[in-house]
Amino acid sequence: MAARKKTPAARSPVDGLIELVGVSKVYNPDRVPVHALADVDLQIAAGEYVAIMGPSGSGKSTLMHILGCLDTPTSGSYSLRGQEVSRYTGKKLAHIRNRDVGFVFQRFNLLPRLTAAENVELPLLYARAPADRRREVVADLLAKVGLSDRGHHRPNELSGGEVQRVAIARALANDPAIILADEPTGNLDSKSEDDLMELLDSLNAAGRTLVVVTHEDSVARHAKRVVLLHDGRVV
Amino acid sequence: MNLITLCARAIASMRYNKTRSFLTTLGIIIGVTTIIAIVALLKGLDRTIDQEFSSLGTKTIYVQKLELEIGLRRHRNFEEISKRPDLTVADAAAISKLPTVRAAVPNIHRDLGTLTRGVYEADECLLTGIGEGGDLTGNWVVSEGRFITRYDQQHRNMVCVIGSYVAGNLFGPGEEPLGQTLEVEGRRYTVVGVLEEKGASFGHPQDNQIYVPVETYIKYYSLPEGRASVFRGIRIEVLPEEKVPVEAAVADVEELLRLRHGLRYYEDNDFGLNTQESMLSSLNTIRSVLWLVMVGVAGISLLVGGIGIMNIMLVSVAERTREIGIRKAVGASDADVMVQFLSEAVALSSVGGVVGIFLGLAAGAFVSAITPLQAAAPWWTVVLGVGFSAAVGIIFGIYPARKASGLNPIEAIRYE
């Protein structure tokens, strides 16, 4: 990849997978400015398991959107795997979301029209992976989350816990650097929550970097580090 | 995503909402059906006319008292036309001496109604006085015996040449018509020739002819006068020499007749020189009207169909906002989303196009089955139908697809 080779040598000395320096996000800058994030510094190393906590309106979601390259900071720098992505636009951000980030949302994670297997296949399709490789990866991932026999079911035929597992399988599809989970257990009963957290723990144990946004201590307890946000600042 | 995957996804998306997809494609179906059906009809019309004219003799010039036109009938003063000089056997003789003319044959006929011969009957027979060479100008093949000859004319012989319908109906099976006597309106003619079957032309039967020498005819029947002479008087069928263009022969005949009729240079022709070309030119007017109708109906329904597709795609984009957000979150670029929605619009319109092609072909086949018109759509109409419908999908799909691809992923994911 030509773009990566051109990245300046000014890399962080730390093994910083993720490095936010002075990141701010201001919504509505012209009329009534809302400072969703103010001067946030955050480093996450490869293999970390981080929980981001805070009351609603504290900027958790904004931080996650920026980490996941769904949004870009108003000011400050964000480097992911050594790439300065804070000024990327459109197609490049889509590429990073596809390759370097895996999302798990709280609800409505899966496309209702597609089967579980087709949902897992989506990131591979957008990565232009050949059909035989897609089949192989999808089968592997469904096995990994314990849903090999549910591949042909549609989301409305799956339980809440199963849907979240499929979402995790999909997040892993392109072997991303980081998994971002936004309240992944928000809609689950406690048994399913335990199962899901166990799955996430096992991923981290295998070396996967995890960032979980949550306001539940029971979830945050699984993480090895907790980042607390308040009014857009890390406290 | 390759093309096959894209098509498969687009079609799967259509099947997700079958009724809506069907209603959406209706406009396209009607538009494409119209295109195919009208082209099939026009082609059928052309083919039928070609056949009709080929049975008449493509190069034959019909010299008549009036200019003939098929189709759109101009208001004409038949009183004036009936005062024009009648065409005569002498005119025909003069024309036949032109170097560009191979044969000029006078022709006059009367309806006989039902003709009987013993126990046999034939309906709607025609008695036609004709000059020698009438088999050439009329494109006849003599299957038995001979045609009328100059000798028959000079001697006003009581002979006749009969069409296959007359031969088949007035003579019993195994009976040989040649040499037999046929009584027509109290006069007895000897059958000297039988013509090969030709079928109908412009709805008129042709095999019901009883040809006699024109001189014989004139001896027994008075020529029509007044308005009757316009259509029923003597007409002259002129066949140009081989390798002489029809126009050259037409020009020569025109000059000769103007001379014989004593016309001044500023006076219009007082006769009609009717060729396949001159008759077809008025037919072309009908054809262009039909084309206009087709373009109009097809254009309007494709436009309406396109707007329908745009509308439903906009609804679909709104309904699937969250889907678009998730797709973007897992790495779909704006272009990916654009292509996805565009391909769905094109799938809708193309399926409409394909259904329209089949309906149009069926309409053509139906017309062929119940009318003599051999309606058949040529292969390029199928290409045209597919092309038009796909183009409609692209043109009207772009706006909704752009709207989908431009959605902010964060807002799209929050959307419920």
pLDDT digits (tens, 9 = 90+) for B175-217: 889 999 999 998 999 999 999 998 777 667 889 999 999 999 9
Which of B406, B316, B250 is closest to B14 using CA atoms? B316
User: Kind and range of the H or E element at A13?
Assistant: none
Residues of A in contact with B409 (CB under 8 A): 70
The predicted complex's ipTM stands at 0.87
Instruction: Please report the pLDDT score of residue B102 as a whole number.
Output: 92
Measured between CB atoms, which of A90, A109, A110 is closest to B334? Answer: A90
User: Kind and range of the H or E element at B277?
Assistant: helix B276-319
In this prediction, what percent of chain A has a pLDDT beyond 90?
0
Average the pLDDT over B121-148 and give the result: 90
Measured between CB atoms, which of B323, B333, B335 is closest to A111? Answer: B323
On the question of pLDDT at B356 being above 60, the answer is yes
Rounded to whole angstroms, how far apart are CA atoms B3 and B166?
A: 66
Neighbours of B283 (CB within 10 A): 17
> Higher-confidence residue: B18 or B404?
B404
Lowest mean pLDDT among A183-192, B36-45, B92-101, B281-290: B281-290
Q: From the candidates A88, A98, A107, which should be mutated to test the interface with B, based on the most B CB atoms within 10 A?
A: A98
Residues of B in contact with A166 (CB under 8 A): none
Interface residue ranges in chain A relative to chain B, Cβ cutoff 8 Å: 65, 68, 70-71, 90-91, 94-95, 97-99, 103, 105, 108-113, 122-123, 125-128, 170, 173-174
Are the C-beta atoms of A80 and A18 separated by less than 8 Å?
Answer: yes
Residues of A in contact with B328 (CB under 8 A): 70, 94, 97
On the question of pLDDT at A178 being above 60, the answer is yes
Chain-chain contact of B328 with A94 (C-beta, under 8 angstroms): yes
Residue B279 CB contacts under 8 Å (≥ 6 apart), including other chains: B68, B69, B70
Cα of B341 to nearest chain A Cα, Å: 15
Q: Is the dihedral of CA B169, B175, B177, B180 positive or negative?
A: negative
A173-182, B20-29, B141-150: which has the highest mean pLDDT?
B141-150
Residues of A in contact with B8 (CB under 8 A): none
Q: Which residue of A has its CA nearest to B5?
A: A125
Rounded to whole angstroms, how far apart are CA atoms B109 and B89?
A: 14
Instruction: Please report the pLDDT score of residue B152 as a whole number.
Output: 92
Q: B330 falls in which pLDDT band (50, 70, 90)?
A: confident
Instruction: Please report the pLDDT score of residue B187 as a whole number.
Output: 92
Residue with tokens 């309409």: B363
Q: B69 falls in which pLDDT band (50, 70, 90)?
A: low
Q: Is A9 helix (H, G, I), strand (E, B) or coil?
A: coil
Lowest mean pLDDT among A4-8, B166-170, B380-384: A4-8
Cα of B316 to nearest chain A Cα, Å: 13
Lowest mean pLDDT among A103-112, B252-261, B320-329, B342-351: A103-112
> B134 vs A61, A101, B206, B231, B243, CA distance in Å?
98, 92, 14, 19, 20
Are the C-beta atoms of B189 and B160 separated by less than 8 Å?
Answer: yes
Residue A145 CB contacts under 8 Å (≥ 6 apart), including other chains: A165, A166, A168, A169, A199
* Eight-class DSSP state of A149: G
Instruction: Please report the pLDDT score of residue B253 as a whole number.
Output: 93
Q: From the candidates A89, A103, A104, A113, which should be mutated to test the interface with B, based on the most B CB atoms within 10 A?
A: A113
Q: What is the pLDDT of residues B365-403, one digit of tens each?
A: 888 888 777 777 788 888 888 888 888 888 998 999 988
Domain layout of chain B by residue ranges: 3-51+281-414, 61-274
Residues of B in contact with A105 (CB under 8 A): 326, 329, 413
Q: What is the pLDDT of residues A158-171, one digit of tens each?
A: 888 888 888 888 88
Q: Which residue of B has its CA nearest to A67?
A: B329
On the question of pLDDT at B1 being above 60, the answer is no
